[in-house]
Amino acid sequence: DSGVTQTPKHLITATGQRVTLRCSPRSGDLSVYWYQQSLDQGLQFLIQYYNGEERAKGNILERFSAQQFPDLHSELNLSSLELGDSALYFCASSVEVAVTYNEQFFGPGTRLTVL
């Protein structure tokens, strides 16, 4: 158990809908990262927050957004869902960002299926 929790575990929805994925980082970790994993693209970095502020953006679509709250939990919002958004979504956390080794600890993921 990494100490990172994600809910829900599974999510099935229809095209055009909006969903929210939730992540709670390890105790003491200030940085949260969101990743999307699909069979053909592998693990793709979406976005990073540190202590409530956005720190870095990766391959995140404009239909997707995220935020980190004062209690450090984070939510990833996916809207106008398309079939191609079906994937595993992982949250990871780390203590800080400005370290060479930047070790990240991953949650169990949310499997999103868009029908």
Partner 1 sequence: TQLLEQSPQFLSIQEGENLTVYCNSSSVFSSLQWYRQEPGEGPVLLVTVVTGGEVKKLKRLTFQFGDARKDSSLHITAAQPGDTGLYLCAGASRSSGGSNYKLTFGKGTLLTVNP
Binding site for partner 1 (CB under 8 A): 2, 4, 33, 35, 41-45, 48, 50, 55-56, 58, 90, 92, 97-109, 111
Distance CA 1, CA 6 (A): 12
Nearer to partner 1, 52 or 108 (CB): 108
Shortest distance in whole angstroms from residue 71 CB to partner 1: 21
Cis peptide leading into residue 8 (ω within 30°): yes
Of residues 42 and 70, the one with the C-beta less far from partner 1: 42
CB of 80 to partner 1, least distance (A): 26
- What minimum distance in Å lies between the beta carbon of 105 and partner 1? 7
Q: How far is the CB of 16 from partner 1 (least distance, A)?
A: 27
Contact between 41 and 84 under an 8 Å Cβ cutoff? The reply is no
Quick check: 18 and 81 in contact, CB under 8 A?
Answer: yes
Q: Closest CB to partner 1 among 14 and 27?
A: 27
Q: Which is nearer to partner 1, 78 or 93 (CB)?
A: 93
- Which residues have CB under 8 Å from 25's CB, separation 6+? 3, 4, 31, 32, 72, 73, 74, 91, 93
41 phi-psi bin (left φ>0, alpha ψ -120 to 50, beta other): alpha
